[in-house]
Amino acid sequence: MTSLVLFHNTYRCTGPQGDKAADLVLLHGWGLHSIVWDDIMPGLLQHFRVTVIDLPGMGQSPLPAGDYTLDYLARHVGAILPPQCHLMGWSLGGLVALRLASERPQQVLSLTMVASTPKFVAAGDWPGVDARLFDRFIEVFEEDAEGTLIRFLALNCKDADTVREDVRKLKDILYFCGLPAPQALRGGLAVLRDSDLREELAGLSLPRLMLFGEHDNIVPIATADMLATQHEVRVLAQVSHVPFVSQPEQFLVALRQGWRGLGVITESA
């Protein structure tokens, strides 16, 4: 039986490269879908042909059978990747992108992780949130799935200078496609809680860019300091867990600077 195919859409590069542009694939975070990238899409299309993918059970994607694990996510996303592409993932999407970059070094040309980390939960000297945060969200999810989703989205925006506008935008995006499947939400929280891809990140040889929000309450800013010695890191001021929503122009500037430094795009682009 043919597996269900995730929703995906590809947009033509509007910049000088046109149809010869490289492919960039965008992977969103927990509970949302690909419309979350809309504010920065025109800037991305100046450099790339861009494909957006909705993760299983979120946005317009179906929910194929199987346990909702990181391997499950990587398998279904990987089935529709271009033959060669750059990957950019936000939050949960960053974990999926990292796993794909590790498994497919000949296919993935570069990795950009936005407000993401190889391990979201604190351990020893590794900065992160307390595992009980995700446990609590999973627990209350069983009682009030929609309310839990809204509270998590609010946590994404907490302490940003534009917190009210950010929460409103994320709610609008959330309801545009209807609520995600409960299994996808429950499983996605477990992936965030349980994944530890630090060795996979350390083993990558491709260009790597990591962007963080100064006031992120899910990925502590100390994570940037921990990773800056081995990876290209940018920290965006006055934003939290959704920097491309809070400050799209500032985000694009940091993104282009990082990509130019790594050779992902040229100086003239």
pLDDT for 1: 38
**Across 176-182, average pLDDT:** 93
In the chain, % of residues over pLDDT 90: 91
* Position 21 pLDDT exceeds 60: yes
pLDDT of residue 3: 73
Band of residue 142 on the pLDDT scale cut at 50, 70, 90: confident
CA neighbor of 54 nearest in space, from 71, 77, 72:
77
In the predicted structure, residue 196 carries a pLDDT above the cut 60: yes
Predicted model pTM: 0.97
User: Degrees (nearest 5) of the Cα angle 112, 181, 244?
Assistant: 30
| Predicted confidence (pLDDT) per residue in 48-98, tens digit | 999 999 999 999 999 999 999 999 999 999 999 999 999 999 999 999 999
Query: Per residue in 229-244, pLDDT tens?
Result: 999 999 999 999 999 9
Catalytic residue among 91, 116, 240, 246: 91
Average pLDDT over every residue of 26-40? 98
How far is residue 133 from each of residues 129, 148, 223, measured CA to CA in Å? 7, 12, 17
Active site residue 91: yes
pLDDT, averaged across the chain: 95
Of 216, 231, 240, 246, which one is the catalytic site residue?
216
Which whole number is the average pLDDT over 189-208? 97
Domains of the chain with CATH codes: 8-262 (3.40.50.1820)
The average pLDDT across 170-179 equals 93
Given this model, what pLDDT does residue 20 score? 96
Quote the pLDDT of residue 141.
86
Per-residue confidence (pLDDT) for residue 46, from 0 to 100: 97
Nearest partner of 95 among 14, 207, 190, judged by Cα: 190
Tell me what pLDDT residue 216 has. 97
Mean pLDDT throughout 148-169? 95
* pLDDT at 117 (0 to 100): 98
Report the alpha-carbon angle 10-14-20, nearest 5: 75
Active site residue 241: yes
Higher-confidence residue: 2 or 87?
87
Amino acid at 123: A
